[in-house]
Chains A and B, each alone.
Chain A
Amino acid sequence: MAAPESPRTDSSPWNWLLLAPIVVPLLTPLFNHDEPRLAGFPLFYWLQFAFILLGVGTTTLVYRMTRKRSRP
């Protein structure tokens, strides 16, 4: 099953979104605090857990928006 030649590029403006989950989790002043706590978790911990969701959300979005149309 020879798929049609895909357009020879990976570039898309959506890719810029990937910068967010790379940069945000590295900004320690953003999350290096104890308060406010969430369910007993200091901010330092629950916010970094939340960054995982940011990472999943962004990469999923970029993946969906840049998928080649030839592949259903």
Chain B
Amino acid sequence: MNDHVTEIVIFTVLFLLVSAIGFVAARWRAPKDMAHLDEWGLGGRSFGGWITWFLVGGDLYTAYTFVAVPALIFGAGAAGFFAVPYTVVIYPMFFLILIRLWSVSHRHGFVTPADFVRTRYDSPTLALLIAITGIVATMPYIALQLVGIEAVLKTMGVTGDSALARHLPIIIAFAILAAYTYQSGLRAPALIAFVKDTLIYIVIIVAVLYLPYKLGGWGAIFEAADKKFQASPAPGDGIILNANNQVQYFTLALGSALALFLYPHSITGVLASRNRDVIKRNMSALPAYSFLLGLIALLGYMAIAAGVKPLPGAKAGSVDSNTVVPLLFDAKFPAWFAGVAFAAIGIGALVPAAIMSIAAANLFTRNIYKEYLKRDATPAQEAGVAKITSLVVKIGAVGFIVFLDPQFSIDLQLIGGVIILQTGPSVVIGLYTRWLHRIALIAGWAAGMALALWMLWQIPNAATGRRHFGGSAFPLSEFGLDSQKTIYVGFVAVLANLVVAALVTLLLRVMRTPPGADGTTPGDYFADEGDPRVEREKSTPIDTVSST
């Protein structure tokens, strides 16, 4: 009845193996007491170079990347390759920024970026906005991991007729994921990331050696892609960029890079590292993944050369281009290897989904529960709330997929990337200077947010016929410029955010509005592992007042 039995068996076995690892992870490098947010939500802040490499890598390169980037290349060509420069510029950009964030968080016990903003600007309101932005941006991102798994399941023919039957495998997968994240916290994705990346590396290396050989070499692959784009009526596609989408290409790469490390889950991975050295070393080692990403992206062209036709989408007449990579593996490889590849994508969804739900839970616990609901919460209560929140977040993400069109999650994720960028001025600039006023930062956030949503609302999607939120490429002609060029929405919005923040700061200075007390000292931004002040507080577990 189903000719994908081998694939399904291998997928299931690997999936269960990984789940077992997830449960065992609770005992891995664990202290006696897991009932502390530092332990559950940050793995005891003890991860060294290798673990951090796998954890942050597993965080940033998700199942959605593996299916969506090649799908974009498949459909639009060169414009989809922005993912490579995006993951190149990100590391030198954050090389110096993240060590400062790590140091100040280490000294003050911050778990989230909003914790930092709270102390730096003495503003619970600003911290609340940062926390809510983080949670809102993360939810659809988790949902998208499910889209990745769904593309694989669809290819294997694991689909039912009713909505429930269709989504049952995903619900089961997420229930297991929720259970081991609840138990093991950040240790689960950290340990699973080893398996995930090993599988992905094997699959991709085999694929990029074997497929070009089968398809007549790289030259033939690019020829086939070129021929397809020449024949298509769409103006923006082609194997190189055209005059109109170059600005979009680099603003999207830059904006996405800025956004990526502002996402709460990437910061969680960074704060879990043991010391500054681990972070710096990782910023130079993580681009190894960019190679992988570039090669995965090119699977989109291989799918064109192999004549892959994407499976039908949820609506009649539409296609689900996310299925091109799974279909390519299904068509060109023996069943057992396709099974391994599918498991790699499936497990590739679990690692980031777990980290994201932990990050969202940390934000809720620290910046909403502890700030507004229960000020005197003990560390054990915090850990308890975070565990339950991580469950709620995952149920919400499954709800997105089951009850709404997955396309909706994709739209939301697009918005998510743009809105998370609006937290940049408070977090990144705040790490260097306190010149911007807290009220001005709130004003800038509001302005950037409003402009971003307005711009996204104006963008139709030609392919799906939707009138709003159809993409992130904003035509400059909408600003009254005589141009066919487009620009990345997030880039414009964050500029507006900065301008408003600066202008309002000047105004508030003239009015002498109190800026609030800075809870950090200059030395906090350089503290490292074994910091005397942190050690002293560890040995005297009394509520100590800041010694400086």
Select one of A19, A32, A52 contacting B287, CB under 8 A: A52
B92 lies within 8 A of A21 (CB):
yes
Please name all residues of chain A whose beta carbon is closer than 8 Å to the beta carbon of B92 when the two chains form the complex. Answer: 18-22, 55, 58-59
Within 8 A of B (CB), among A5-57: 5-6, 8-10, 15, 18-22, 25-29, 32-34, 37, 39-42, 44-45, 48-49, 51-52, 54-56
14 contacts between A and B (CB under 8 A): A2-B532, A3-B528, A10-B96, A10-B100, A22-B89, A25-B89, A28-B246, A40-B218, A40-B221, A44-B78, A55-B88, A55-B290, A59-B284, A63-B281
Give A25 to B93 CA distance when docked, in angstroms: 12
Please name all residues of chain A whose beta carbon is closer than 8 Å to the beta carbon of B385 when the two chains form the complex. Answer: none
The stretch among B6-14, B247-255, B440-448 that forms the contact with chain A is B247-255
B84 lies within 8 A of A32 (CB):
no
B91 lies within 8 A of A55 (CB):
yes
Q: Flag whether A69 is at the interface (Cβ < 8 A).
A: no
A25 lies within 8 A of B100 (CB):
no
B535 lies within 8 A of A2 (CB):
yes
Give A25 to B532 CA distance when docked, in angstroms: 41
Closest to B78 in A: A44
A34 lies within 8 A of B88 (CB):
no
B contact residues vs A (CB 8 Å cutoff): 78, 81, 84-85, 88-89, 91-93, 95-96, 99-100, 212, 217-222, 239-241, 246, 249-250, 253-254, 277, 280-281, 283-285, 287-288, 290-291, 294, 298, 522-523, 526, 528-530, 532, 535
B91 lies within 8 A of A45 (CB):
no
Please name all residues of chain A whose beta carbon is closer than 8 Å to the beta carbon of B291 when the two chains form the complex. Answer: 49, 52
Give A71 to B530 CA distance when docked, in angstroms: 12
Closest to B100 in A: A10
B526 lies within 8 A of A6 (CB):
yes
Closest 6 CB pairs of A and B: A40-B218, A40-B219, A59-B284, A25-B85, A18-B92, A26-B250
A28 lies within 8 A of B249 (CB):
yes
Give A59 to B253 CA distance when docked, in angstroms: 19
Please name all residues of chain B whose beta carbon is closer than 8 Å to the beta carbon of A19 when the two chains form the complex. Answer: 92
Please name all residues of chain B whose beta carbon is closer than 8 Å to the beta carbon of A34 when the two chains form the complex. Answer: 239-240
Please name all residues of chain B whose beta carbon is closer than 8 Å to the beta carbon of A56 when the two chains form the complex. Answer: 284-285, 287-288
Give A37 to B217 CA distance when docked, in angstroms: 13
Select one of B84, B281, B526, B528 contacting A49, CB under 8 A: B84
Which of under 10, 10 to 19, 20 to 34, or 35 or more describes the interface residues of A? 35 or more
Closest to A26 in B: B250
Please name all residues of chain A whose beta carbon is closer than 8 Å to the beta carbon of B285 when the two chains form the complex. Answer: 56
Please name all residues of chain B whose beta carbon is closer than 8 Å to the beta carbon of A5 when the two chains form the complex. Answer: 532
Give A5 to B532 CA distance when docked, in angstroms: 8
Give A25 to B250 CA distance when docked, in angstroms: 8
Give A49 to B249 CA distance when docked, in angstroms: 16
Select one of A49, A54, A63 contacting B280, CB under 8 A: A63
Select one of A18, A45, A48 contacting B95, CB under 8 A: A18
Closest to A39 in B: B218
Give A42 to B14 CA distance when docked, in angstroms: 37
B287 lies within 8 A of A55 (CB):
yes
A42 lies within 8 A of B222 (CB):
yes
Give A9 to B92 CA distance when docked, in angstroms: 18
Give A49 to B295 CA distance when docked, in angstroms: 9
Closest to A20 in B: B92
List 4 other contacts, CB 8 Å, given A41-B218, A42-B222: A25-B84, A34-B240, A59-B95, A63-B283
A40 lies within 8 A of B222 (CB):
yes
Please name all residues of chain A whose beta carbon is closer than 8 Å to the beta carbon of B254 when the two chains form the complex. Answer: 26
Max chain A Cβ within 10 angstroms of own Cβ: one of B92, B220, B284, B523: B92
Task: Tell me the minimal C-beta distance from A51 to chain B in angstroms.
Answer: 5
Please name all residues of chain B whose beta carbon is closer than 8 Å to the beta carbon of A21 when the two chains form the complex. Answer: 88-89, 91-92
Please name all residues of chain A whose beta carbon is closer than 8 Å to the beta carbon of B528 when the two chains form the complex. Answer: 3, 6
Task: Tell me the minimal C-beta distance from A48 to chain B in angstroms.
Answer: 5
Select one of B88, B523, B529 contacting A8, CB under 8 A: B523
Task: Tell me the minimal C-beta distance from B300 to chain A in angstroms.
Answer: 12
Give A52 to B100 CA distance when docked, in angstroms: 25
A32-B241, A34-B240, A44-B240 as given contacts; A22 in contact with B284, CB under 8 Å: no
Please name all residues of chain A whose beta carbon is closer than 8 Å to the beta carbon of B91 when the two chains form the complex. Answer: 21, 55, 59
A6-B526, A10-B100 as given contacts; A32 in contact with B277, CB under 8 Å: no
A60 lies within 8 A of B277 (CB):
no
Give A60 to B285 CA distance when docked, in angstroms: 8
Give A15 to B97 CA distance when docked, in angstroms: 12
B219 lies within 8 A of A37 (CB):
yes
Closest to A9 in B: B526
Task: Tell me the minimal C-beta distance from A23 to chain B in angstroms.
Answer: 8
B290 lies within 8 A of A52 (CB):
yes
Closest to A60 in B: B284
Give A37 to B165 CA distance when docked, in angstroms: 49
Give A26 to B90 CA distance when docked, in angstroms: 11
Max chain A Cβ within 10 angstroms of own Cβ: one of B250, B283, B523: B283
B283 lies within 8 A of A44 (CB):
no
Closest to B84 in A: A48
A3-B528, A10-B100, A40-B217 as given contacts; A52 in contact with B294, CB under 8 Å: yes
